[in-house]
Amino acid sequence: MSFITNLTHKSWTSMKMRFSKSNPEKKLFTPGPLVCSQSVKEAMLRDLGSRDGEFINVVKLVRQKLLDIAEVSPEEFTAVLLQGCGTYAVEAVFQTCTPRHGGRALILANGAYGKRMKKICDTCGIPSDMFEFPEDGIVDVAKVKELLEKGVQYALVAVVHCETSTGSINPVEELGQTIKQYQPQAAYLVDAMSSFGAVPVKIQNGQIDYLVSSANKCLQGVPGFSYVIARKSELFKCRGNSRSLSLDLADQYEGFEGNGQFRFTPPTHTLLGFLQALQEFQEEGGVNGRAKRYKQNCTVLQRGMEELGFCKLLSRECGGYIITTYHYPNHPNFNFEEFYCKLCQLGQLIYPGKLSNANCFRIGNIGDLYPSDMKYLLKCIGKVLDAMDVPVPVPVPAPICLCVA
């Protein structure tokens, strides 16, 4: 008899209770998955069929709302939802929008998520070049201009808006204008995974053709689907390009337009939660309202971490207000694994670093978090440093302006 079939209802309930008590809910100071409101979670406590008229209306409304947030016209753009995490949608754009023959992609990378795009291309057999910039900086528009002038023709140029491995914010609008000036035939992809909904970006001004994000980022839904804000005139050119059935954006779009349904089993509960998240987003004041709270969170965090003796990776000019990367303290008693575990025991979950050339860790301040949460995190960090016998310097008060758009 298997372990599962041998469990009685009583023992199964007892085991779940023990698990819950030994693993209480934690605050997630990460770039996703992130803390969701109770009302978003409660909105998922319903079952709807994929062909249910009510669910089809939910999908339609979500697609419309995403275009509203993006501030683009439904005559020119569409929102294509895709089951799976954000990387699925990024790969879907590469699969769909790079021709099978003669199409080449250019990736502008200054961190791990730009490099992941290159790995996608290599895995899928898509010819590509990666123009790499330092991890502690941003993509340099002038150098991109020099590269584009050399004459190699690209079908697709891609960049990450908020490079989540560091928190840097790349100048996607200026880059888009440069790309279209020197390579007007190229489609322009922006991975706005950790920025859409909180960092303003003008899609039309940046001449962006594809903008990708995920349900469980700044719009504060739960994981389960990603989406592409796509320029219709570009998407229509891509029929038949995809090397993948499930990641074919053009086919997914035609499915939505034909019967309002996903081609394959949809994440019904995730979409119900997301619809509630969109309502809360609107009530908070949209992009500007959410940006205001995230900036407040970021300022509290960065000021407190400075007082605790931590040094940021990025300069003020390169960093944003989504996530902040910190160097390890230069002290022999500091061990990140111990630091991480002790914070986790206090119910505070941060992120390890994702850099190739520096020992760092990351703290995000997006999701259903508020300045009070950031203050409590800082208090816990202070306790952990004390327990590790890592001294905290005496803070020097100074007027600072830490978080910028």
Summarize the annotated binding site for substrate as residue ranges.
Answer: 362
Find where tokens 């079908």 sit: 155
Find where tokens 């961190």 sit: 111
Residue 20 backbone zone (phi > 0: left; psi -120 to 50: alpha; other: beta): alpha
DSSP 114-133: HHHHHHHHHHHT--EEEEE-
- Contact between 112 and 103 under an 8 Å Cβ cutoff? The reply is no
Question: Binding site, residues?
Answer: 362
Enter the tokens of residue 16.
């779940």
- Contact between 194 and 45 under an 8 Å Cβ cutoff? The reply is no
- How far apart, in Å, are the Cα atoms of 100 and each of 95, 210, 316, 387? 9, 19, 42, 57
DSSP 298-329: HHHHHHHHHHTT--BSS-TTTB-SSEEEEEPP
- Contact between 157 and 189 under an 8 Å Cβ cutoff? The reply is yes
Enter the tokens of residue 152.
């190699």
- Contact between 148 and 178 under an 8 Å Cβ cutoff? The reply is yes
